[in-house]
Each structure stands twice: as C-alpha cells, then as structure tokens.
Amino acid sequence: MRKLEHLFVTLNATAVILCLIAMSGIVFANVSLRGLTNHSIPWADEVARYLMIWMTFLGAGLVLRQGGHVAITNLQDALPGRAQIALRAALVLLLLGFFLFMAWVGRDYMLRMQFQRTPATRIPFSYVYAAMPVGFGLLIVHLLLVARGFVCAGRYRSDEGAPAHG
C-alpha cells in the first residue's frame, strides 16, 4: 500500500511540475518574442492562465499532505489529548464533506461550460473547469491517506512516507 501511495504522490507531483514547466516555457517564449520581434503568441496568455489553474488544483492535495495550508492551532493546543483527537477527527470530516461538495459543484459547473469555447485556442471551457472536480478529487484521496496519522497524532505524511509535524 505504501508503494502505491508513493506512486500516487509521485505522479501527482510530476503533473504539477509538468504544468509549471509548460507554463514557464510558454511565458518565457512569449516575452522573448515580444521583446525581440515586437510580436507575441496570440494564445500564450490564455494557455499559461489555464495551466496555472490546473497546477493550483493539482498541487492543493500535495500541500495538504505537508500541512501547508493555513491552520490556526490555538484551540487544538489548548485542549487535552482526547479532545485534540476529537477536534482533528471533526476537522477531517468537515474537510471531507467540503471537498466532496466542491467536487460535485465543480463537475456541475464543468458540464455547464461544455458548449462555450475559450477565446484564443477555441477549446471547450469544460477542459479548463475540469481542474476543479479533478483537484478536489485528488484532495479527497490525499486527505484519506493522511487522515489517520493526522487524527491520532496531529501529523501529516511527507512524500517519502516519513511523518512531518503539521
């Protein structure tokens, strides 16, 4: 199971890195062409924006694994041991419910946008908005993979599987 989780995290991180490389390359090429030839690539800004959207949603689960999202722990730190566990369990359930709801809303929004096309590339907007249900689906998987360690010990798992304090 740990190898499967490691593969999942590696594939997710690779997708984020590929989005970053593509976005950086497109922006660099467009700025260079604009500076050198006074012409720019008509679709570059649009594609870079959509890659950033995808990169953000794909990377959110990886950040969750590291405990990198904003957290206020004053209440948790003030509670005794069992109450901390109960609070963390409630947080996991709340997050899971929110992620499921947002994946459903994102899917609905994606389906509504299937007939509109992007201005420069003329691809259906549903491809752009698919980032939302995919990203929240990944958040659900990442949350479920780290939930036990977080609830029981208040720790997140790093990419290598070693615990990292949140």
Whether 164 has a pLDDT exceeding 50, the answer reads no
pLDDT in tens, 43-74: 999 999 999 999 999 999 999 998 888 787 88
Q: Which residues contact 6 (CB under 8 A, 6 or more apart)?
A: 159, 160, 161
pLDDT in tens, 16-29: 999 999 999 999 99
Q: Which residues contact 149 (CB under 8 A, 6 or more apart)?
A: 155, 156, 157, 163
pLDDT in tens, 96-155: 999 999 999 999 999 999 999 999 999 999 999 999 999 999 999 999 999 999 999 887
Residues 87-103 have a mean pLDDT of: 96
Residue 162: band (very low, low, confident or very high) from pLDDT cuts 50, 70, 90: very low
Secondary structure of the chain in HEC code, one letter for each residue: CHHHHHHHHHHHHHHHHHHHHHHHHHHHHHHHHHHHHCCCCCCHHHHHHHHHHHHHHHHHHHHHHHCCCCCCCHHHHHCCHHHHHHHHHHHHHHHHHHHHHHHHHHHHHHHHCCCCECCCCCCEHHHHHCHHHHHHHHHHHHHHHHHHHHHHHCEEECCCCCEEEC
- Calculate helix-pair angle for 2-37, 131-153, nearest 10 degrees: 130
- Provide the pLDDT for residue 157: 62
- Provide the pLDDT for residue 160: 46
Cβ atoms within 10 A of the Cβ of 56, count? 14
- Provide the pLDDT for residue 56: 97
Structure tokens at 121: 């590339």
- Of residues 127 and 164, more confidence is placed in 127
Residue 163: band (very low, low, confident or very high) from pLDDT cuts 50, 70, 90: very low
Whether 165 has a pLDDT exceeding 80, the answer reads no
